[in-house]
Structure 1
Amino acid sequence: MSYYGNFYYKTPTVGELQAKARKSIERARKKGVIYDPIVVPGTGSQRKLCTNWWGKAWCANMEQYSDYANRLPRGQRYCRNGMVIDLQIEKGVVHAKVQGSDRTPYDITITIKPLSQKAKKAIQERCEFGISSLETLVAGEFPKELQDLFTAKEGLFPSPSEIKFHCDCPDGAYLCKHVAAVMYGIGIRLDQKPLLLFELRGLDPKSLVEKAIANKLESMLKNVDRPSGRILDAQVNTNELFGL
């Protein structure tokens, strides 16, 4: 039981919130709207939100911002227990719905400032000459050798000054528990679909891959007439070479 102003408010249980969430999803479905909820596999409060290093890195990066600290634990519980019933990542913006105590879920919008042209160019160049890394990206994973693209200044992970939040709940806090839940939800979604991080920051992953392949082919064509150091000289005695 919590006290707000001149009245007491009964805090709903996790089970009650989950029941409301299921009803909200079903009501939307009947209207032809299909939500894409955040689901944390497993059971229990200790189950991991993210399993891949890039998803964990997103959450760790967010948690280091001291301004967010007091709301993050409640947001994490909301996310872990299935209250983020819809989350859509687009270029520069995340739209989400989080089930709270009301019948209607809250609408959350998180806007992320676009990367500067200088930062975009640096990231593109960093990716273009790492064809093996991009093959890993195409397979749906972030290679460790590109880890510096995340936490570097003007990297793929946004800083607090680059993020704006909006939630239509009555909580006056800039970062309410519903927004915090969505921030964790983004980490989980990126953990599953890492290329969405490029899209979120305004970069086209398909274009990065195509440029990397083009650079690789160009490099190969430049060296096509150069003799390989692995070709045996005609004068080499193969019997002596192999000790025969």
Structure 2
Amino acid sequence: MSRVFEPFPATHAARSFARTWWGKAWVGAVEDVSLDSKQLRRGRAYARRGHVGAILVEPGRVVATVRDASLEEFRAAVSVEQLTDAQWDRFGDEVAAKSGHLLALLDGEMPAELVESAAAADVPLLPTFGDLEPECDCDAWEIPCVHAAALAYQVSWLLDTDPFVLMLLRGRGEDALVGRLRTRVAEPTDDDWRGDDAAEAYAREPAPLPRWEFAPAYQRGEDVPPGPGIDPDAMRRLVASAAARAADLLASPG
């Protein structure tokens, strides 16, 4: 369960990092642990100049080969803790709580409301201070080194366009996660099966009856005229017809 992204081409423009709020959260987590802003500046320059090779994203970490100014290559990685099965179940509950959450994810968006509610349920999607662990096989002592910083900055570009990159880093691939989330969204909740409680239903204030626009306009206390009587001649004809029909039935052989 992994994804490989082609190298970003070099750009001479001062391309910014992390245009989305969740991408900025990633960059913030990278920069918060750095004690050397020089390494970060060099890492941004390496990222813009295309010094980072193909990026491998797998559960728990992202890996790439990064070239330095002398074209020497180093293997850099950034690791993050994976979510547990129980945390993924709680994340599914948060997605199912609002149908628009899944649609937003499929549309390449990361709803802030979803991230906040997930965090409240102890499901940290976005990394914060100390959550990211940069690694590199160079001999630099800085954390992150220029190579790991360059990789981390390019990952923010991936996150900007595809929030499922973050989900994969946290331990779930897109296909499996979306399939499970679709099932959770479609599942009826306990409230759906329960229906209305009888006590609650009877305790509700009755809704007003609709106005009958064709009701006679009588005032309160006014005598209401009696309804139309029965026509005696018509009644006699009905009785006579019924009696004749009954006599015919009795006279008919079994």
TM range (shorter): 0.5 to 0.7
Please list, as runs of the form range in 1=range in 2, the aligned pairs for 1:204-215 lying within 5 A after superposition.
204-215=173-184
User: 1:131 pairs with 99, 108, 120, which one?
Assistant: 99
How many Å separate the matches in 2 of 1:68 and 1:150? 33
How many Å separate the matches in 2 of 1:239 and 1:64? 70
SS at match of 2:53: strand
Q: TM-score normalised to the size of structure 2?
A: 0.63
Structure 2: runs of 5+ lacking an equivalent: 197-206, 215-254
How many Å separate the matches in 2 of 1:177 and 1:141? 30
How many Å separate the matches in 2 of 1:80 and 1:126? 37
Code of the residue aligned with 2:168 in structure 1: it is: E
CA deviation profile, 1:47-103 (whole Å, cap 9, x unmatched)? 322322221221123323354645222212221222223212111121112121333
How many Å separate the matches in 2 of 1:124 and 1:209? 10
* 1:107 Cα deviation from its structure 2 partner: 1.4
> Which ranges of 4 or more aligned residues in structure 1 deviate by more than 6 Å?
149-153, 223-226
* 1:130 Cα deviation from its structure 2 partner: 2.5
Identify if the C-alpha distance between structure 1 residues 183 and 215 changes in structure 2 by more than 3 Å, giving closer, same or farther.
Answer: closer
CA deviation profile, 1:162-213 (whole Å, cap 9, x unmatched)? 4333322242334211111111111111112111100110034444444444
Whether the aligned pair in 2 keeps the contact of 1:128 and 1:209 (CA below 8 Å) is no
1:171 and 2:140 are equivalent in the alignment: yes
* 1:105 Cα deviation from its structure 2 partner: 2.3
* Larger CA Rg, structure 1 vs 2: 2
Aligned residue pairs total 198
Code of the residue aligned with 1:76 in structure 2: it is: R
% identical aligned pairs: 26
Code of the residue aligned with 1:36 in structure 2: it is: E
Equivalent in the alignment of 1:88: 56
User: 1:186 pairs with 155, 174, 188, which one?
Assistant: 155
Whether the aligned pair in 2 keeps the contact of 1:96 and 1:182 (CA below 8 Å) is yes
User: 2:27 pairs with 51, 56, 59, which one?
Assistant: 59
User: 1:145 pairs with 92, 113, 117, which one?
Assistant: 113
Q: Which moved more, 1:175-184 or 1:156-165?
A: 156-165
Code of the residue aligned with 1:188 in structure 2: it is: W
Q: TM-score normalised to the size of structure 1?
A: 0.65
Equivalent in the alignment of 1:36: 6
How many Å separate the matches in 2 of 1:122 and 1:164? 25
1:199 and 2:168 are equivalent in the alignment: yes
